[in-house]
Amino acid sequence: MTQRLHLVFGGELVDPQRTTFQDVDNIHIVGMFPDYASAHVAWKREAQRTVDDAHTRYFIAHIHRLRDEEAEASPTEELGA
């Protein structure tokens, strides 16, 4: 069974119309979730908690889309093997 990992994170943006963070060192990592449904629940909780702050936004990153298990490993990955 393939895992479909999702990362929920957010923080203060420079401009609410863009996705550039004010301070990358202070990005709030909510957590890694095994499916979109649980990631969405966490995202919604954080988004609602910060609804009064127009400069704070949360995102869901589809981590499972970053890696194709069928693709050949990169040289960097093979260093650990």
Higher local confidence (pLDDT), 67 or 76: 67
pTM above the 0.75 mark?
A: yes
Q: What average pLDDT score do residues 25-43 get? A: 96
pLDDT at 58: 97
Mean model confidence pLDDT for the chain: 86
Whether 1 is covered by a domain: the verdict is no
Which residue range(s) make up the domain with 41?
6-79
* Residue 49, in any domain of the structure: yes
Contacts of 21 (CB under 8 A, 6+ apart): 11, 12, 13, 14, 27
Provide the pLDDT for residue 65.
81
Work out how many domains the chain is built from and give that number.
Answer: 1
The CATH number of the domain where 75 resides is what? 3.30.70.2400
Structural domain includes residue 54: yes
Instruction: Summarize the confidence of residues 44-62 as an average pLDDT.
Output: 95
In a domain, 69, yes or no: yes
